[in-house]
Structure 1
Amino acid sequence: MKIEDIKKPIIFCHYGNSPYLFYTLKQVKLSNPENRIILLGDEDNKKVAHKAKIEHCCFKDYDDSDEIKVFNQVYQHIAGFKHKKEFWTNFVFKRWFYIHNFIKKNEINGFWHFDSDNMILSDLNKQEHKFKDFDCTEQCNGICMNGYISSYQVVNGYVNKINELFKDEAYLKEQKQDFIAHPDYAFTEMRAYKAYREQENINSVRLNKIIDNESFDDCICMDHGYERYESLLNNQYLKKIYFDAQGNFYCYHIESSQYVKMNSLNLSWVPTSLFKLVYKTYKNNIDNRKKVKNKDLILLDIFQRNTFKEKVLGCIPKSIKRKIKLLIKKI
């Protein structure tokens, strides 16, 4: 039995070197020290992967499969006139071809895959049993394949479906018509996944489903039925994040009146400072798991206001602050 069948590898894809990437990688290494963790990336992020003691593999070394050659031939940028993200749209498709070739060459069957802004807060080996009856799990409000992926065949079917869709003129025409009404939209890997799931009867489940009073966060900037902070961070209202002295994180689910343990936090669209704060909070408390019995929950101060003045000013809307400054200048 291969080690991959015992401890499922955890794969991230990222191009470039975003400031938050180091914390994502350090976090998953802390929470899953026994798993093989891979960053599929480029020369720009090789150094940060090594600094985080994570295995790094370059996209260019997995750019030679028959499937990716077909993709390069059939791909076309299909989007509304306001979208203007051609490189990114190509990449979100192509990363799955890199993953496909990587797991094939490495004889990996089941594995975990997350976007690189997801902070993994639990031992994923203890979560796997929840999803063993499914082909895969989903994030992005149910329209992208992320989290647990049960087999190579699921990815193989997905990349072949992507190529099939780019050859389907009737399907592409339908997408183009939709983008006339929605000029900010584009045909991405999410729409392709939706078609794959529906046409091939993929047995999937939302990763953020609450199971055993635990969940995986779908996006911290969306409430999904959880309590939110009353102030904005980076122009976003975030779910309230709680933690305990053992390094566990929670969000309060309103309908069930329960604090739900979060196995991950998806920190899309938030500043790097929050990645750092979550990492430090986890690291500072993880050693207490066998020592401390106190399970009182503490609200995470995502705003990090240290002084009374900062705390007061942080609650005042920017528009009011500007008016106050103008009044002061007139005095």
Structure 2
Amino acid sequence: MPAPLVFTHYGDPDYLAFTLAQAKASNPERRCILLGDDLNQETARSAGWEHIEYRELCSSKRDTFNARFFWIQGISHNPVKGGEDWLRFVSERFFCLEAFLVNERIESFWHFDSDTMILHDLSIYERELADSGFDAFTLCNDACPSGYIQTALISEFCKSMIEDYEDRNFIRTSLQNFRSLRPTHAYTEMEAFCRYREKCSVSTTQLSSFFSDRNIWFDDCMCQDHGFQFVNAPRLGKKIKNFYSDKNGRICCQQMDGSIYEFATINCSWVSTDVYAWIASERLGCASVCVKLADSLGKSLRSYCVDLVVAVARFLFYRSRSLFRRFAG
């Protein structure tokens, strides 16, 4: 049985419907679970995902973490997003994840940030990753566990985070560092994971380039170049990888040395919903010519709005047709 795919998220941003639907479309036979809240329950179920209320996932470790946790941050850092304690959530979600995995007796699983568009069937890669001997794979520039992960690592990571909040010397030093040198930053799950790897004997490697010998790439963040062609996207107010789609629905990008890679996943942090719509639409393979994301974003506002509506309509049509065939069969 394939390892399940698990996302964690609170709230119901516009992009979530795209990432959940795309993941299920690429992995129709895989169990997909969102550890979410009442706001995103309907979005998850409409996309064919199981939904579990993350606040109801209890464990003694989670209780201990919440009893010890407080904001370790610079004076200019905002710990609240979407009306919730985001700084707590990004770490607490791993305790929720562990409680769920242990309760379900799941030994390994797939996990990505909820703003990740999963373009390939993960079964293509699962056996090789499972046999690799690594405890976990990483993304986010090697700063967080992502992709294929062993549950045992999550358990040890949670234990390490509790130790951090019980280490008075570490807390004192960290507070001084953020207040004097990094006023806009905070101690997040990424910094906690890097510290965990320093403290413990754990075997990890970056997922992004693991299949580069096959010209396959798992994206860390589309707003960072990682050696790929990088272009301005004025509508987004930033630069992005120069993604394009072909008539077969493959999303690709060329590195500066000329090598072309097909992307298995794309991390869409810090971009608008129209990027998700473009990826979902082009993934259907309806284009007759090469279509560049940056060109699509550079169109006139009227043309852009028309194309966005068409892209969303196409995606919803093909998605609903796929679901109908599954249930009818």
TM superposition score category, shorter chain reference: 0.7 to 0.9
Residue type at the aligned position of 1:84:
N
SS in 2 for 1:99: helix
CA distance in 2, matches of 1:196, 1:50: 35
Instruction: Check conservation: 1:219, 1:268, Cα contact below 8 A.
Output: yes
**1:183 paired to 2:177:** no
CA distance in 1, matches of 2:65, 2:303: 56
Q: Which residue of the partner structure matches residue 121 of structure 1?
A: 119
Kindly provide the CA deviation profile for residues 40-93 of structure 1, in whole angstroms up to 9, marking residues without a partner as x: 10000001111112111111220x201001111111111111112151110001
Q: Which residue of the partner structure matches residue 297 of structure 2?
A: 303
Shift of the alpha carbon at 1:27? 0.2
CA distance in 2, matches of 1:130, 1:274: 31
Moved more, 212-221 or 172-181: 172-181
Residue type at the aligned position of 1:258:
S
SS in 2 for 1:111: strand
Against the structure 1 CA distance between its residues 195 and 308, is the aligned structure 2 distance closer, same or farther, given a 3 Å change threshold? closer
Residue type at the aligned position of 1:182:
R
CA distance in 1, matches of 2:40, 2:303: 39
CA distance in 1, matches of 2:218, 2:47: 23
Shift of the alpha carbon at 1:308? 11
Instruction: Check conservation: 1:251, 1:260, Cα contact below 8 A.
Output: yes
Query: Which residues of 2 match residues 230-241 of structure 1 at below 5 A?
Result: 230-241=232-243
Moved more, 259-268 or 221-230: 221-230
Shift of the alpha carbon at 1:230? 3.6
The percentage of counterpart residues that share the same residue type is 32
**1:20 paired to 2:22:** no
Give ranges in structure 2 of 5+ residues lacking alignment.
Answer: 305-329
CA distance in 2, matches of 1:43, 1:52: 15
SS in 1 for 2:141: helix
Q: How many residues align?
A: 294
Kindly provide the CA deviation profile for residues 99-148 of structure 1, in whole angstroms up to 9, marking residues without a partner as x: 00011111111111011100000011111244332111111211111111
SS in 2 for 1:22: helix
Aligned-pair RMSD on alpha carbons?
A: 2.0
Q: Which residue of the partner structure matches residue 282 of structure 2?
A: 281
- Choose the corresponding residue for 1:77, options 58, 67, 71: 71
Against the structure 1 CA distance between its residues 234 and 298, is the aligned structure 2 distance closer, same or farther, given a 3 Å change threshold? closer
Shift of the alpha carbon at 1:261? 0.9
Q: Which residue of the partner structure matches residue 198 of structure 2?
A: 198
Instruction: Check conservation: 1:17, 1:44, Cα contact below 8 A.
Output: yes
Kindly provide the CA deviation profile for residues 234-263 of structure 1, in whole angstroms up to 9, marking residues without a partner as x: 1111101121222211111113x2110100
CA distance in 2, matches of 1:92, 1:66: 18
Shift of the alpha carbon at 1:309? 9.1
Shift of the alpha carbon at 1:219? 0.4
Against the structure 1 CA distance between its residues 231 and 153, is the aligned structure 2 distance closer, same or farther, given a 3 Å change threshold? closer
Larger Rg: 1
TM-score using structure 1 length: 0.84
CA distance in 1, matches of 2:168, 2:128: 39
CA distance in 2, matches of 1:201, 1:69: 26
Moved more, 204-213 or 7-16: 204-213
Shift of the alpha carbon at 1:306? 6.0
